[in-house]
Amino acid sequence: MKSTHRFCTILFLHNKGKGRIVTTATPKDRVQRALSEFDEKLRDHPNWANWETNRRYSSFITIDGKRYPAKTIVALAQNIAEASFSGAFETTRYLRKAGISTEPLQCLPASLLDLHFEREAIYDRKTEIHGPFGGSHQSGIAPSSTFPAIFIFTGDTGAQNGYADKWVDGENTCLYTGEGQIGPMALTKGNLAIAEHAHTGKSLHLFQSVAKGKGHRYRGEFVCESFFTEEQPDQKGTPRSAIVFRLTRVETVPDCDPSLPLEDSETLTLQVSLTAAREAALAVTQRAPSTSTKATARTIYQRSRVVAHYVLMRAAGTCESCEKPAPFNKSDGSPYLEPHHTNRVSDGGLDHPQFVAAICPNCHREIHSGEDGAKKNQALAQKIRSYELYRA
């Protein structure tokens, strides 16, 4: 007897060897079934009450006036766990097959804490990178038009256009060739943006092309450690002078504690007065990256140390977020506060007095993990920036 339910005619077969569900249903049919399942079993469940404000979900679809989390619908449609695929690019591609387009949950993120790209996940450049954050869809170096961030793109086909990027140090460092397809490269436009990113307070986010039309894999956040020039062929095969940036993962930059004694080999002096410490901090951020091929993370470490020293002196033992005294003193008697980068998802590497605050551990954890962390960070960023601009 013919069933009135459209899905009763769909044949499902269980493959015991691979533990998968095989179906003759089209992606559109599967999505329709997933939508019904979400409405019946999940929509009214307490765990899904505020899913639209959860950073875990970056896109949604709208059907008959109702919103659905895009990745969850794709997982239900394919009968697989959400954790089994990266989400961004795969979700968009599958839903396109069903004739459905996705929309970003936050067209304009509240702060850089919402730059929540997942390492090794694949993203659609147009809709999931430049759509929410702006910037050129074509350039290999694309500064965001609305946020202090620079998006950098690399791929295997770059050599055809005069770019020869390569990974070293266990892929913790990328030797990234600057922009300019014909003739010698100049330290202008995108190249200058990378070289000055620490001074301007802009974070570097590196993406690697998977294949033409198959998205870009997020490789992480980086800091420009140095740059140099070397001879490389341009797009026409003519030898030319190319700019190569040494980009290091921010997580590999060592933490610093200004209260610890300096190593004998270091020629770094920490100032004892607040004014002198501020001048020193501004000076190290304005210094261009080294052009030496032998430069190491030591340069970044020293900059971080000088800036952290000034910021802790500026706070004078009081959390710059909650304005309460430091919770305890360190072994040297100084109040314990932690440097926090207001313009970054993680800490370390990128330093400038306008974007670094000294805060207590409780505020630090709340900003990174709390429900209202983004708002708290925004308020702190505005306070610190206003203070530094007033002193300028």
Helices (H), 270-372: 274-286, 298-315, 361-369
Is residue 178 domain-shared with residue 247, that is, in the same domain? yes
In a domain? residue 257: no
pLDDT value, residue 92: 82
pLDDT value, residue 18: 40
Is residue 143 domain-shared with residue 220, that is, in the same domain? yes
Is residue 81 domain-shared with residue 200, that is, in the same domain? no
Backbone CA torsion sign across 346, 350, 356, 358? positive
Is residue 356 domain-shared with residue 290, that is, in the same domain? yes
Task: Residue 213: give its domain's CATH number.
Answer: 2.30.280.10
In a domain? residue 1: no
CB atoms within 10 A of CB 350: 30
Residue 33 CA to chain centroid, in angstroms?
35
pLDDT value, residue 304: 76
pLDDT value, residue 352: 76
Residue 78 CA to chain centroid, in angstroms?
29
Is residue 33 domain-shared with residue 100, that is, in the same domain? yes
The structure tokens listed for 297 are: 């993370």
Is residue 282 domain-shared with residue 333, that is, in the same domain? yes
pLDDT value, residue 56: 66
pLDDT in tens, the chain (392 residues): 333 333 333 333 333 334 444 456 889 999 999 999 999 999 998 888 778 766 567 788 999 989 999 989 999 999 998 877 766 677 888 898 899 988 776 544 444 445 678 888 999 898 888 888 888 888 899 998 777 789 999 987 666 666 778 898 888 899 999 999 899 999 999 999 998 887 677 889 999 999 888 899 999 888 887 888 999 998 888 999 999 998 988 777 655 555 555 454 455 677 788 888 888 887 776 655 555 544 455 566 677 788 888 999 999 999 999 999 999 999 889 999 998 888 665 554 456 788 889 999 999 999 888 888 878 888 898 888 778 866 65
**Enclosing domain of residue 202:** 120-251
In a domain? residue 112: no
Of 386, 356, 96, the residue nearest 215 (C-alpha): 96
Of 175, 58, 183, 68, the residue nearest 122 (C-alpha): 58
Is residue 153 domain-shared with residue 206, that is, in the same domain? yes
For residues 350 and 201, the answer to whether their CB atoms sit within 8 Å is yes
Is residue 358 domain-shared with residue 384, that is, in the same domain? yes
| DSSP symbol at 329 | B
Domain total of the chain: 3
Helix axes 361-369, 373-391, angle to 10 degrees: 120
Give 123's strand partners: 216
How far is it, in rounded angstroms, from Cα 371 to Cα 50? 12
Domain end position, chosen among 251, 284, 300: 251
Domain end position, chosen among 75, 104, 133: 104
Output the DSSP codes for 157-226.
Answer: GGGGGT---EEETTTTEEEEE-S-SSSS--S-HHHHHHHTHHHHT-EEEEEEE-STTS-EEEEEEEEEEE
Domain end position, chosen among 70, 104, 138: 104
Is residue 247 domain-shared with residue 345, that is, in the same domain? no
Is residue 227 domain-shared with residue 132, that is, in the same domain? yes
In a domain? residue 256: no
How far is it, in rounded angstroms, from Cα 223 to Cα 228? 15
Is residue 86 domain-shared with residue 135, that is, in the same domain? no
pTM: 0.59
